[in-house]
């Protein structure tokens, strides 16, 4: 039986990222690609992950390079910062995306869950760092970029959730809808 991730789940977190960066940083973001992640490698230097439990199991992570983090955080706060500033900032961005996704899904009556505080990680450029998602999850990556900047400023949202077989997903949606 095919294992799936609800597209509404993915779109809720994408919409939360757009709203957060538009409201908090007055930045527009675009989505460049969505795919299933097949490796455990971190692709960016700054990474924040928030656990999701009690109803939905998985996590939401945001990752970006130092230039992207500096651009977003300078737009949010009006200042540039050091490594600690960027680590705190990536955690706050992950909070905004995960909290916004949670709010959208609850408003739509689709999913209810709890979120943890963010865990932030730094992977120096050129160093291979791996992160493992909870067992039984599939990781969907939403590749994004900050629009309207002179340089390309990419970032990613990674959503790892327990999968559902197509039949149980349809049962849940028809029962709840």
- Please check whether residue 147 is in contact with residue 140, taking contact to mean a CB–CB distance below 8 angstroms: no
Class of domain 3-176: alpha beta
Residue of 111, 128, 131, 110 whose CA lies nearest to 120: 131
- Residue 22 has a pLDDT of 96
Q: Which residues of the chain have pLDDT under 50?
A: 1, 165-177
- Residue 162 has a pLDDT of 81
- Please state, in angstroms and as integers, the Cα–Cα distance from residue 41 to each residue in 44, 155, 176, following that order: 9, 15, 37
- Residue 1 has a pLDDT of 43
């Amino acid at each position: 039986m095919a294992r799936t991730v609800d597209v509404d789940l993915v779109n809720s977190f994408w919409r939360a990222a757009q709203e957060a960066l538009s409201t908090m940083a007055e930045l527009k973001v675009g989505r460049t690609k969505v795919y299933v992640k097949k490796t455990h490698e971190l692709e960016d230097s700054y990474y924040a992950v928030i656990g999701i439990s009690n109803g939905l199991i998985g996590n939401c992570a945001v990752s970006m390079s130092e230039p992207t983090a500096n651009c977003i955080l300078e737009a949010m706060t009006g200042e540039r910062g050091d490594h600690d500033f960027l680590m705190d900032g990536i955690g706050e961005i992950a909070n905004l995306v995960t909290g916004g996704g949670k709010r959208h899904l609850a408003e739509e009556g689709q999913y209810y869950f709890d979120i943890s505080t963010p865990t932030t990680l730094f992977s120096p450029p050129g160093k291979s760092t791996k992160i493992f998602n909870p067992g039984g999850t599939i990781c969907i990556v939403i590749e994004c970029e900050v629009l309207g900047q002179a340089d390309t400023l990419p970032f990613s949202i990674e959503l790892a959730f327990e999968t559902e077989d197509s039949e149980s997903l349809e049962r849940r949606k028809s029962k709840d809808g």
